[in-house]
Chains A and B, each alone.
Chain A
Amino acid sequence: MKKGMLLAIGLITGVIAFSQDRIFTRKAEISFYSKAPLEDIEAHNKAAVSVLDKGTGQVEFSVLMKGFEFAKALMQEHFNENYVESDKYPKATFKGKITDMSKVKFGTEGSYTVPVSGQLTLHNVTKDVNAGATITIKSGAVSGHTELTITLEDYNIKIPAVVKDKISKTVKVVVNSNYENMK
């Protein structure tokens, strides 16, 4: 009981400390697309977690690799087993910063284009990534959109030799997040 109370107090104070500037979502959408002669591949994950600090511009994403859904079951199995090895490396994360946060006027409706830079960890490999992002303020709600292209080889993701020339070596990653205020 005492432990529960302490935890509750910790949570409440934690939430108060957070609620100043941090917004979050448990339902960010991350999709990827790869176009190639053999076949176009796309997959979607709609349960990524993201936190954005409106003050500092710190932004984080975390996503479960097994949550990427492909139209074809076989493709999803290959993705998990042979490419990203999601049993060994279940998550991908991005930790970074919107470097020009002062451009975003959270009190004014509109779209703001900002640069983001940080580290992407995928398949147990961490690399620096840079991308442009759009922050949109509409009816008081904040949403973010970004696209980046990653090279599979950079993350030590191997394409099996038989399909090496038929599958794209890069994938386009598209991220959409609709943030909520921390309550």
Chain B
Amino acid sequence: MLALIVVLIAAVLYGWREYHRQHPDTATMEAAYSMPAPVLVKAFQDDENKANQQYNDKVINVSGTVVKVEHNDSTQTVQLDGQAMGGVICQFETAHGSELKALQPGQPVSIRGVCTGMLMDVVLVRCALDKTHH
């Protein structure tokens, strides 16, 4: 009887925690891949289906040159140079938005984020500056 209650409590606790689970901070997660932005873009341009399977939902470290940094009300975005037809758009996690203050176009940078696929550009979300390379 006691065992049953313990199991029940454990199950409820697990369910509660699972239900309220937050997204992990990308900065603390291990990157599955590290590559220059043009290489990632080319992989998507060459074979989008294959690249979707390989990279989507994965944490990727991309290194590249900053084209544009944009601050909107709630989002900070960095655009990295890729191929002629598209680059990498990195949407920063609000908590990491302040890391972009000093970032200038033309500057080399390393950013990690979760890959969501390609439209005109490859899109990474929940980004943070990659500190392991600095």
Residues of B within 8 A of A (CB-CB), count: 28
**Chain B binder among A69-77, A150-158, A167-175:** A69-77
Q: Which residues of B contact A62 (CB under 8 A)?
A: 119
CB pair A74 B19 closer than 8 Å? yes
* Complexed CA–CA distance, A50 and B105 (Å): 24
- B132: CB under 8 A from chain A? no
Q: For residue B123, which residue of chain A has the nearest CB?
A: A47
Q: Is the pair B84, A7 in contact by a Cβ cutoff of 8 Å? A: yes
Point out the residues of chain B lying under 8 angstroms from A4, CB to CB.
84
Main secondary structure of the interface of A (DSSP, over half): mixed
CB distance from A43 to the nearest CB of B (A): 12
Chain A nearest CB: distance from B111 CB in Å? 15
Q: Is A144 an interface residue (CB 8 A)?
A: no
Q: Which of B87-134 contact A (CB under 8 A)?
A: 89, 91, 116-121, 123, 125-126
* Cβ-based interface call for A66 (8 A): yes
Q: How far apart are the CA atoms of A48 and B23 in the complex, in Å?
A: 21
A27-B72, A64-B123, A66-B57 given; 20 more Cβ-contact pairs under 8 Å? A26-B120, A27-B70, A47-B116, A49-B119, A62-B119, A67-B116, A67-B117, A67-B123, A67-B125, A69-B23, A71-B22, A72-B19, A72-B21, A72-B22, A73-B23, A74-B18, A74-B21, A87-B53, A90-B117, A91-B117
